[in-house]
Amino acid sequence: MTVDALATRFASFRRPFKLMVTGGGTGGHTYPALTAVREMQTVMHHHGASVDVLWVGTATGLESRVAPAEGIPFETVPTGKLRRSSNPLKMINAENMRDVGRVPKGVLEARTIARRFQADVILSTGGYVAVPVGFAARATKTPLVIHEQTVRLGLANRVLARSATAVALSSENSLSLLPDSVAAAAVVTGNPVRPTVLTGDPAKAVPALGMTGYDPDLPTVYITGGAQGSEQINGVIRENLPWLLSVANVIHQCGPNWVEGRCSADRRQGHRVRAAGRPGTSSVRPTAPGDDGGSGALNGQARRCAQAGRTPVERRAQSESLRQRQ
């Protein structure tokens, strides 16, 4: 059944469609859920129907800030994080044992919430909080839809996939990685993207982000990472930032821990750094000494300083160019 058909059906029922959402911890799980909620509300409203949404997450995850800020009712349940290791013996530690003990309590609390809310569907976008809520969906016989943002299913979605009513995938490459029983319920939907991401206005974004030295003639590169891969991405960008800034406007979004370390390092090197905060993330915009502004797009003087140096990427590109000329 399409969303439009669902909306038409509930409009005739004269009652709201009740959607329970879970998922979070990081932006990779939180914002796809938020986008799905907003799109469902838009479609339902277009057909004369409405949606009652309840978001269930953890008290400390990103979702605990995003959902209330977006006006979405929010309740918390306890859950635990499994700290994995290539050595199974190292997984037997006090932190894992403590967190594993929280999951049953989270299932009981999630089941109570699910029974009280009486959702038509529970949508899970992953993260550790999805496990107790997914088990609650099974206990209350509520249809469960899970969404995976990466090619390989995350641990929480792997646990829940076999009991899910539908499995939404971001990539067709994921299909061949699923067991047959799970693949039968899978559909490739892509990754939900907020419309505002695709309809931005650079003229408004530049002052809103506090960017100085923005060059409209250059392409703008937005860089972000997630989960365990973000540290490697941040390191590569930091190493090659001078060269990147010589050919593009750069906005680098990263987590607060990386911002703090990066600010300290840049200040030791004589650079000023401005960090623009967003829920759970920060955009770091290094500026050259003497530049009063803060932006990933350096001003003219800073660009000349950046061009004077050669990073490993630029040296490799230059060597390749020389080989082609020879």
How does pLDDT run across 89-135, given as a tens digit for each residue? 665 776 666 766 678 888 999 999 999 999 999 999 998 889 999 99
For residue 73, pLDDT over 70 is answered with yes
pLDDT at 303: 37
pLDDT at 54: 97
* Torsion angle defined by CA atoms of residues 203, 208, 209 and 215, in that order, rounded to the nearest 10 degrees: 20
Task: Tell which wins on pLDDT, 159 or 194.
Answer: 159
pLDDT at 35: 93
Arithmetic mean of pLDDT, 307-326? 41
Q: CB of 99 within 8 A of CB of 82?
A: yes
For residue 308, pLDDT over 60 is answered with no
122 forms bridges with which residues in the sheet?
20, 144
C-alpha 129/C-alpha 33 separation (Å) is 13
pLDDT at 34: 94
**Neighbour tally for 250: CB within 10 Å:** 22
For residue 211, pLDDT over 90 is answered with no
Arithmetic mean of pLDDT, 184-203? 85
pTM exceeding the 0.85 threshold for the entire prediction? no
- pLDDT, tens digit (0-9, with 9 covering 90-100), for 34-54: 999 999 999 888 888 889 999
pLDDT at 286: 38
- pLDDT, tens digit (0-9, with 9 covering 90-100), for 236-257: 888 888 888 889 988 888 776 6
C-alpha 287/C-alpha 298 separation (Å) is 6
Determine phi and psi for 102, rounding to 5 degrees. Answer: -80, -25
C-alpha 8/C-alpha 124 separation (Å) is 24
Of the listed ranges 5-9, 12-16, 173-177, 313-317, the least confidently predicted one is: 313-317
DSSP string, 124-166: E--STTHHHHHHHHHHTT--EEEEE-SSSPPHHHHHHHTT-SE
273 forms bridges with which residues in the sheet?
286
C-alpha 192/C-alpha 249 separation (Å) is 26
Q: CB of 273 within 8 A of CB of 238?
A: no
Residue 146: partners with Cβ closer than 8 Å, 6 or more residues away: 123, 124, 125, 126, 130, 134, 157, 160, 161, 164, 166, 167, 168
